[in-house]
Amino acid sequence: MKKPVKIDDIAALANTSTATVSRALNNKPGVTEATRQRIIKLAQELNYRPNRIAQNLALQKSHLIGFVAADLLNVVYIDFFRRVQKLVEPLGYQVLISDSEQDVAKERHNIEVLRQHRAEGLIIFPIHDWHSETPVDHLMELRLRKFPFVVLGSIKGYGLDCVTSDEIGVAREMTAHLLSLGHRRVGFIGHDPENRCVNERFEGVRLALREAGLDLDPAHVVAHREGWQEGLRTLLQTAGRPTALVFMNDVLALMAHRLIGDLGIEVPRDLSIATFDNGIWTQHLRPTLTTTVENPQGIARVATDLLLERMETPDGAPQTRLIPQQLIIRESTGPVPQ
């Protein structure tokens, strides 16, 4: 590979100093239009490509925003990444994406690397490690050093800048929808108290029921563990079973779909089902599934704004911002069976 052209080469050929070349190429004042054109032409001919490394060192700016995703296999993060990229590109920033693969150690490592690269701000989807005393101590350290970053997801009460999608609200809305269809016995499939997001969805359901003067019957809750499918099967075979089921997410609903069909239960005639996250299959199964979508655009926009704000004023008070989700009603929820 040939050595890349540098600014000195251009300066030599143009009979100027490197200073002039730099000013010419960066559209800074202090160069006649003639010289500027001469230099630009020369740069093109030589196929000059500024060395970002040197540039960043000289400018004391990395033009880098770090994006630490909990698990890139989830498309949500990619979509988010794209939107952020698009928002900060006009400001001259590059977004560097890194993947924690559901592993706190990797998350720490990624943050460390990004700091070594002198990222100017970080957007973090953290792994929740509920088994450790201080699940977010490395985040607290960032905060302590006034390093600008925002956290996505439901970390509350730690005094961090944070943007979160409103799980509770949409779960509540979904349940209200079921109630309006006449359902009174609503079950929750795949409960996992250790998972904050699932927990919030669960809370939302319970909240809506309570508002209608109902209780969420513990017998109608199937936990998310090995063998949950058996749990679901027996639940569906008991008398007085729920007339509507809320699944913890769309993958679970997909897995249950076949099982429900095999039991000879027809959705929504015999049973209504609803779930979260709008995975592509939810609109192609029969029946199509009632589900929810986040507002990714809103999340990205708000998170980016908040980060930029924090980069401006690293001392500002931490903020929490809540982004509403949308309920999509499809075929799988219908009137309660007579």
Residue type, 57: L
Closest CA to 299 of 129, 154, 183: 154
Residue 51 contacts a second copy per CB under 8 A: yes
Residue 292 contacts DNA per CB under 7 A: no
Contact 325, 299 (CB under 8 A): no
Binding characters for a second copy, 95-124, by CB under 8 A (x = yes): -xx-x-x----------xx-xxxx------
Q: How many residues does the chain have?
A: 338
Residue recorded with tokens 């920033």: 93
Distance CA 249, CA 198 (A): 8
Token pair for 201: 């969805």
Distance CA 152, CA 124 (A): 6
Contact 292, 328 (CB under 8 A): yes
- Which residues have C-beta within 8 Å of that of residue 320, sequence separation ≥ 6? 156, 161, 162, 163, 164
Residue 269 contacts a second copy per CB under 8 A: no
For a second copy (CB under 8 A), the number of binding residues is 48
Contacting DNA within 43-82 (CB under 7 A):
50-51, 54-55, 57-60
Residue 14 contacts a second copy per CB under 8 A: no
Residue 91 contacts a second copy per CB under 8 A: no
Residue 152 contacts DNA per CB under 7 A: no
Nearest approach, Cβ of 1 to DNA (angstroms)? Answer: 13
For DNA (CB under 7 A), the number of binding residues is 30
Residue 202 contacts a second copy per CB under 8 A: no
Closest CA to 191 of 276, 126, 263, 298: 276
- Which residues make up the interface to a second copy (CB under 8 A)? 1-2, 4, 49-54, 56-57, 62, 72-73, 75, 78-79, 81-82, 85, 94, 96-97, 99, 101, 112-113, 115-118, 145-148, 251, 254-255, 257-258, 261-262, 280-281, 284-286, 314
- Which residues make up the interface to DNA (CB under 7 A)? 3-4, 6-8, 15-20, 22-23, 25-26, 28-32, 34-35, 50-51, 54-55, 57-60
